[in-house]
Structure 1
């Protein structure tokens, strides 16, 4: 009898531990905690994420938000699908790509009405590369193969009569690793964002070839506005947490309004000091980036079609597939009162 009693007591204790853990997990899930993975938190294209935290807008909405950084957008996407994070601050185009793989993901706030990407040409190669029509036989840097920068690079080259078999794409990451690739001569040109663009211009190592930091520049390059940086989440999460989605959208919309009502200097003053080791360069890069941000977090009307056009040309997952663009984004939460 004693062994049986001992066994029952052990099982009972185990059940209590499991129940306790489950209770803790439930409490954690209901305490407003939201973890967001940012595809490179120091990049200015994703500035609204950290700025919202710095301004205290998450707390104002009663949210407990944790921001994590993952330089590669594809890796951030995987974290979302695995359930390790509730949201990703990354490029909107991931929502289109994921739909072809049976994953329902939608952008609920749009930060960038344009990519904020710039094709930079190494000063050493500037004499031979005057436009994307001159990249035949060259090595072009991208953040990663299969990344947004790779599809944009292929599209720009194709538009100028150069097919992807006629040049080499080399994944070189962003910021310091991108700068190193330019300095070491491993790439002739490459696509990157601020503040890397301003750093390369300041040192004289590279020049702007194609500028997609503004609406006009983007329309000239791609034929329309190109929504890029955004907050995207799994559609199932939105259904289960509509209040959190609404609060996140409200916090971010307040940030977009702050950006459009303050100078680059005033915005920079709110950001962490370690983001701007060269204050003058950071402010200059931010000034050049301000036109990219939406004022209200809404999806530009012509944006999804432009993104689909680019992806359909070079993303094998999207090419030839039917995409329901209405399922890839919503303005519901940014306009909710």
Structure 2
């Protein structure tokens, strides 16, 4: 401070210490106040990510998964969904059980098989009322394999060991009196790897889906042995409808995520309705180019052959679970003779809530 004569006088040290102490106290109080404030709440528009593993995403039996994404129905429900793919349903199932994904698009029969092994999963949307699978016989073997009764000593292709194609192959052979010990099962995957296995002579026959079926028929490399792409063919082969492609989750996840399950059901049922009200050409126009490939006419033809398999509402067919249980109990040692509570393998609760 200054005296009247202009000389400078320094502030006493005591006053300086008081000022510094006051400044420090204020700073400390402000810090404590800020730390005591609650953290900002998470944004309501940031949904939990749901990863769905598809057992072969380009297979037409699983078309609703990618079509739902293409149509924007997941986003319309406020869902953050990531679709991933494994070549076989059993691989997708393993990802679910390991906790790597929240849901699977695969065959319903896994729910029965796993319950017999002490694990609980539940189908919440059923896509296909029939398998959509076709047993194809290589053209070079067509003369010696005219039915599943002729597969003794042959090598049969499946997508993977423990897969639904493996289940169905064993059942169809057993119906014709051919036990598992009398033929060889070879996992060959799907799509191009299946076609290669036929062309290279590594398998005599095998089970696959569209569009692989149409590709093999067009090239002349294989012929249809058992056709389960529609209700009539499935009933002839298996004795009833066989609910197959579906969205399933672990029961424990479902108990804690009912809202997410309801949103998934709404999105997928909208897609099933779309499939039942639009032409194959209109549906194909919604799909990415890498799905359709270079032969759009072939893809559309395969799609037309596949459309009858899809449900219109995502509900479990009334006779479906019993048929699937009968098939699995016919050869699967994990299921045969075991009590299976079918009511724990699926629920129509969420699809029933979807408005017309």
Do both proteins adopt the same fold according to a TM-score greater than 0.5, normalized to the shorter chain? yes
Q: Which residue of 1 aligns with 2:287?
A: 271
Cα deviations by residue, 1:111-150 (Å, 9 ceiling, x for unpaired): 0000000000110011111111111121111111221111
Unaligned runs of 5+ in 1: 1-15
Instruction: Measure the CA separation in 2 of the matches of 1:113 and 1:27.
Output: 40
Query: Which residue in the other structure is 1:284 paired with?
Result: 301
TM-score normalised by the chain length of structure 1: 0.90
- Total equivalences in the alignment: 316
Contact 2:47 2:78 in 1 (8 A): no
Q: Report whether the alignment pairs 1:158 with 2:174.
A: yes
| 2:221 is the alignment partner of 1:205 | yes
Structure 2 counterpart of 1:108:
124
Whole-angstrom distance in 1 between the partners of 2:276 and 2:258: 27
| Matched position secondary structure for 1:90 | strand
Q: 1: CA distance between counterparts of 2:226 and 2:88?
A: 22
- Structure 1 consecutive aligned stretches of length 4 or more whose deviation exceeds 4 Å: 26-30
1:326 equivalenced with 2:343 (yes/no): yes
Give distance in 2, aligned partners of 1:64 and 1:212: 34
Displacement of 1:27 in angstroms is 7.8
Which residue of structure 2 lines up, in the alignment, with residue 10 of structure 1? none
Matched, 1:121 2:137: yes
> Are 2:278 and 1:262 equivalent residues in the alignment?
yes
Q: Is the 8 A contact 1:264 1:283 kept in 2?
A: yes
Residue 68 of structure 1: which of 69, 78, 84 is its match? 84
Identify which of 86, 89, 109 aligns with 2:102. Answer: 86
Distance of 2:102 and 2:44 partners within structure 1? 13
The runs of 5 or more residues in structure 2 that have no matched partner are: 1-34
Q: Distance in 2 between matches of 1:283 and 1:49?
A: 18
Find the residue that maps to 1:162 and give its secondary structure: coil
Residue 265 of structure 1 aligns to a residue whose secondary structure is: helix
The one of 200, 215, 234 equivalent to 2:231 is: 215
Q: State the distance in 1 between where 2:322 and 2:218 align.
A: 36
| TM-score normalised to structure 2 length | 0.86
- Distance (Å, rounded) in 2 between the aligned partners of 1:105 and 1:71: 20
2:54 corresponds to which residue? 38
**CA positional deviation for 1:75:** 1.6
C-alpha spacing 1:181/1:96, structure 2 compared with 1 (3 Å)? same
Rg larger in 1 or in 2? 2
2:241 maps to: 225
Classify 1:29/1:242 alpha carbon distance in 2 versus 1 (closer, same or farther; 3 Å).
farther
Instruction: Note closer, same or farther for the CA distance 1:127–1:81 as it changes in structure 2 (3 Å cut).
Output: same
Aligned twin of 2:29: none
Contact 1:32–1:62 (Cα < 8 Å) also in 2:
no
For the residue of structure 2 that corresponds to 1:270, the secondary structure is coil
Structure 1 residue matching 2:189: 3-state secondary structure: coil
- The CA distance in 1 between the partners of 2:350 and 2:226, in whole Å, is 34
Task: State whether structure 2 residue 318 is matched by structure 1 residue 298.
Answer: no
Partner SS state of residue 298, structure 1: coil
Q: Structure 1 residues 167-176 or 211-220, which shifts more?
A: 167-176
CA distance in 2, matches of 1:188, 1:27: 56
